[in-house]
Structure 1
Amino acid sequence: MTDAMDDQRHDAATWFHTLRDRIVAAFEALEDRAAGPAAPGRFEVTPTIRENDGGGGLMSVMRGGRVFEKVGVNWSQVHGTLAPRAQAAMAARGVAGMAEDPRFWASGVSLVAHMQNPHAPAVHMNTRMFWTPGAWWFGGGTDLNPCLEYPEDTAHFHDTLRDACAPHGADYYDRFKAWADEYFFIPHRGRARGVGGIFYDDLNTGDWQADFAFTRAVGEAFLPAFLPLAEARMTQAFTEADRDTQLIHRGLYAEYNLVYDRGTKFGLETGHNADAVLMSLPPLAKWV
């Protein structure tokens, strides 16, 4: 690995950590602004270590807040050797050199928020960089998961993402929105898990700085896209029927993450802390 790539890996991991810090601070500030008899929610931060390989991260989870019923904002920086199954999967994806050399390095931030109020949408976001001896790439995205959809909320979320994508590629929003529509789909239910967003993976245009700049733009867009929706809906009155709808929708979310999500599969197969990998699961869900 070149000295330049060492610096790039350091810059990426540092920025992902900074993004994690900013989101945690913004969510705790929202908890402070919310009214309620209970104390405002706070994140419990737990370092994670990969016992059999290198690296680890920070698992940050808030439970039982005024606004967030459960939210996790995790940062990781890991390295080592891929297990045979993960190595074979990457080789099948055409990752250069992976069949011969299973070493890897990865860093990123991953977020899932499940809300107290059924009118406030659940949300997912992640951005990451991955390196192998033969290749590097960026990936990530964000998608909105309301159980009770408001068209104006969906429009705001997508408009913010469109604006973030525009300076980086004329086709980025349309291309990555279509990818999200395909990726965040539950085949056995025949439906999307939410109202979409953007998703991209294996992004390597040959210009590391440009691809990193786009990935930063995706991360920077998250709070402006989501926070106004959470704040607007957090005090809206809801019924037991609304809560029931929320719990059923969470069941769909859990099914998707356990059966189809790439990040869940990769985290478990590479030996990362299982609690950190599965922090995306809702605290309560329901099936009919």
Structure 2
Amino acid sequence: MTAPFEIEKGRAAAWFRTLRDDIVSSFEHLEDTHAEGPMAEMAAGRFDVSETTRTSDDGSDAGGGLMSVMRGGRLFEKVGVNISTVYGTLGERAQKAMAARGVPGMAHDPRFWASGISLVAHMQNPHAPAVHMNTRMFWTPGAWWFGGGSDLNPCIEYPDDTAHFHATQQSHLDSHGTEIYPKLKEWADEYFYIPHRNRARGVGGIFMDDRNTGDWEADFALTQDIGRAFLPAYVPLVEKRKSQVWSEADKDVQLIHRGLYAEYNLVYDRGTKFGLETGHDANAVLMSLPPLAKWV
């Protein structure tokens, strides 16, 4: 007999891999087809792919994944698309954090399994927005849930870009109930906020965590559609802005905005905290940080 949730775990992990492959292919195609405008004379960027590993405190295998990073491309100054599937026993700090969030049984049985995809893109052109996306499934003996979303982080804001990003996400989510998109949009506005700066990190998107309605198939389908919304929401914005000329002042604005992004990810982001606390590859966890940033 198959152990509880082994089939569901396998399906989730396979989906994250499929989504990763689609995104990597799409981004390399963008690099190949950028023939006119800034940086077009450069060689097209390609992802460097490496395996990541995680070991438990006793040295045994605890999972891993793939880290795919492109640096210095025509369009992408730095972009990472990581997938991982990790498992084992949560450390005391992570266990307490999960228990505080109300995860059933966590205080007594700290075993866990988690799989997901995480993406962050920082662009060469200041007019092309940075973006973040992740989706994940988490399992413990007492519970399972899904989480994730995507949000847009332009340093130079264009209202029509923001409108397209949000409308595309809504079009993918409305089939799950018209109340879903407004709820996840509001959640993103609350989550991607930098209290010590009194401002949002970007122009928002969608976000969810601890998603467990009791219907695994329905929650998995929603998670898949969050992932499917990403490329049609984001790629047209890159195509629109990729040939736009920028100034040194524009680049300066971009570097300062990246400072905000770095502050948020290092101080508030749940995924960063969880990855470092559970011993995952530090380079993969911190892949989200920009290649260059500036503070004034």
Equivalent residue for 2:178? 170
Cα distance in 1 for residues equivalent to 2:152 and 2:184: 14
Q: Which secondary structure does the structure 1 equivalent of 2:55 belong to?
A: coil
Equivalent residue for 2:220? 212
Equivalent residue for 2:46? 42
> 1:23 is aligned with what amino acid?
I
Cα distance in 2 for residues equivalent to 1:63 and 1:51: 28
* Residue 122, structure 1, aligned to residue 130, structure 2: yes
Deviations 1:148-175 (A, max 9, x none): 0000000000000111110112211111
Q: Which secondary structure does the structure 2 equivalent of 1:153 belong to?
A: helix
Cα distance in 1 for residues equivalent to 2:94 and 2:24: 31
Deviations 1:177-216 (A, max 9, x none): 0000000000000000100000000000000000000000
TM-score normalized with structure 2 length: 0.96
Q: Which secondary structure does the structure 2 equivalent of 1:256 belong to?
A: helix
Cα distance in 2 for residues equivalent to 1:82 and 1:167: 36
Pick from 83, 90, 93 the counterpart of residue 98 of structure 2. Answer: 90
Counterparts of 1:96-115 in structure 2 under 5 Å? 96-115=104-123
Cα distance in 1 for residues equivalent to 2:162 and 2:125: 17
* Residue 284, structure 1, aligned to residue 292, structure 2: yes
Q: CA deviation at 1:4?
A: 5.1
Q: CA deviation at 1:3?
A: 3.5
TM-score normalized with structure 1 length: 0.99
Cα distance in 2 for residues equivalent to 1:153 and 1:170: 22
Q: Which secondary structure does the structure 1 equivalent of 2:26 belong to?
A: helix
Cα distance in 1 for residues equivalent to 2:243 and 2:77: 14
Give the aligned CA root-mean-square deviation in angstroms.
Answer: 1.0
List runs of 5+ in structure 1 lacking aligned partners: none
* Residue 63, structure 1, aligned to residue 71, structure 2: yes
Q: CA deviation at 1:2?
A: 5.8
> 2:55 is aligned with what amino acid?
E
Q: Percent identity?
A: 73
> 2:31 is aligned with what amino acid?
E
Aligned residue pairs total 288
- Stretches of 4+ aligned residues off by more than 4 angstroms: none
Cα distance in 2 for residues equivalent to 1:162 and 1:232: 21
* Residue 33, structure 1, aligned to residue 45, structure 2: no
> 1:196 is aligned with what amino acid?
G
Cα distance in 1 for residues equivalent to 2:4 and 2:17: 20
